[in-house]
Amino acid sequence: MRVKIVGSAIPNMPWQDRPAGSQDVIWRYSNNPVIPRNLIPRANSIFNSAVVPFNGKFAGVFRCDDRARNMVIHSGKSDDGLNWTIQPDPIQLIPDNPRVAEISQFVYGYDPRVCWLDDRYYVTWCNGYHGPTIGVGYTHDFEKFYQLENAYLPFNRNGVLFPRKINGKFAMFSRPSDNGHTPFGTIFYSESPDMEHWGCHRWVMDPNTGWQSTKIGAGPIPIETSEGWLLIYHGVLTSCNGYVYSMGAALLDLDKPWQVIYRTHPYLLAPWEAYECVGDVPNVAFPCAALVDAPTGRTAVYYGAADTVTCLAFSYVDDIIEFTKKNSRV
Ligand code: BMA
């Protein structure tokens, strides 16, 4: 290990070694998908979901579109990060305070992220409130979930919290959007003194070329390293057959995370496998969470495939950073 990673050991995290002979910086779990589309009876699809270490095991918030094609989020637990018990019914958000009750009528929720911060697990998701915006809530136990104020006005997606305050403020990436299938998308950074009022918005990065030419959005919670914040993100290109979602990485300044130091020009992983190319939305690999074992740098990225199932890919933080530096175009 050359890079120092801020975080804990997760000795029991899911892991497979890089296949013999592979040169890939990131490689897929041989038993993908980890979560089939119909793990619970009401689900049409389970994808774009967030997993964290929890009490020596694992817990998560899962996007489960139901068989009426409502987009809702469910909680789940697992001993090994591979075999999951997902609650049969969606999360019922409890208003954190009387004012939040004014906005707590649930319309839809999707693409959750989960972030351990201070003393609780914060959840951000794309929350329907007169269009998509960033919902914010928290849980201590993955049983009861409390809702806070939405972070922004509509329209916004891909709200991703940092795992610690930066310069004394909570920090979040987001990607302003529209009310449809948004043909644009730039990552912004915002800060908050209280997890309610968000401001001091800073531009981070635009789409540029190739696999990330249409739009980009933050993926898993940023990983703090001695080289900067490692951000795994998704990038989209518009093909003659529609959008194609791949993943890449960027290294950001530790104190000013809106400053991009390196950014992958080639992708890290693109939809190649049948389960990424065939499903409700073809050609989607959409990362929402990463488990990192700080002592070894082992990394397990959870990503949604084809808007249908949940998959895993493995790498080392060192290797992603080396690849990002060597193949950078900011
Ligand atoms: C985005 C979101 C994601 C989805 C992607 C591809 O706008 O809805 O949940 O994975 O489109 O359909």
Residues with CB under 6 A from ligand 1: 48, 110-111, 181, 245, 281, 284, 286, 304, 307
Which whole number is the average pLDDT over 110-139?
Answer: 98
Ligand 1 centre to CA of 215 (Å) is 12
Residue 288 inside a domain? The answer is: yes
Choose the residue to mutate in 37, 48, 182, 308 for probing ligand 1, maximizing ligand atoms within 8 Å of C-beta: 48
pLDDT-derived band at 135, boundaries 50, 70, 90 = very high
Ligand 1 centre to CA of 206 (Å) is 18
Choose the residue to mutate in 125, 284, 309 for probing ligand 1, maximizing ligand atoms within 8 Å of C-beta: 284
Q: Is the pLDDT of residue 1 over 90?
A: no
Residue 8 inside a domain? The answer is: no
Choose the residue to mutate in 286, 288, 302, 303 for probing ligand 1, maximizing ligand atoms within 8 Å of C-beta: 286
Residue 150 inside a domain? The answer is: yes
Share of the chain above pLDDT 70, in %: 100
Q: Residue 122 corresponds to which amino acid?
A: Y
pLDDT of res. 159: 98
- Atom 7 (ligand 1) nearest CA: 181
Of ligand 1's listed atoms, the one at least distance from the Cα of 182 is 7
Whole-number Å distance between alpha carbons of 21 and 100: 54
Which whole number is the average pLDDT over 127-134?
Answer: 98
- Atom 3 (ligand 1) nearest CA: 111
Residue 304 inside a domain? The answer is: yes
CA-to-CA separations, 66 to 215, 226, 287, in angstroms, rounded: 27, 42, 21
Q: Is the pLDDT of residue 194 over 70?
A: yes
Residue 70: other Cβ atoms inside 10 A: 16
pLDDT tens for each residue of 258-283: 999 999 999 999 999 999 999 999 99
Residues 6+ apart with CB under 8 A from 282: 241, 242, 271, 306
pLDDT of res. 2: 86
Residue 31 inside a domain? The answer is: yes
The CATH number given to whatever domain includes residue 265 is 2.115.10.20
Which whole number is the average pLDDT over 216-227?
Answer: 98
User: Strand 145-147 and strand 93-95: pairing?
Assistant: parallel
- Atom 9 (ligand 1) nearest CA: 111
Q: Is the pLDDT of residue 144 over 60?
A: yes
Arithmetic mean of pLDDT over the chain:
98
> Can you spell out the DSSP letters for 187-226?
EEEEEESSSS--EEEEEEE---SGGGSSEEEE-SPPEEET
Which whole number is the average pLDDT over 140-165?
Answer: 98
Domains identified in the chain, total number: 1
Interior/surface letters 122-138, b for 16+ CB within 10 angstroms, e for the rest: bbbbbbbbeebbbbbbb
Residues 6+ apart with CB under 8 A from 169: 191, 192, 193, 200
pLDDT of res. 140: 98
Residue 222's domain spans which residues? 26-327
Contact 214, 243 (CB under 8 A): yes
Give CA 146 to chain center in angstroms. Answer: 20
Residue 13 inside a domain? The answer is: no
Residue 1 inside a domain? The answer is: no
Residue 7 inside a domain? The answer is: no
pLDDT tens for each residue of 41-99: 999 999 999 999 999 999 999 999 999 999 999 999 999 999 999 999 999 999 999 99
Which whole number is the average pLDDT over 171-198?
Answer: 98
Of ligand 1's listed atoms, the one at least distance from the Cα of 177 is 7
Residues 6+ apart with CB under 8 A from 83: none
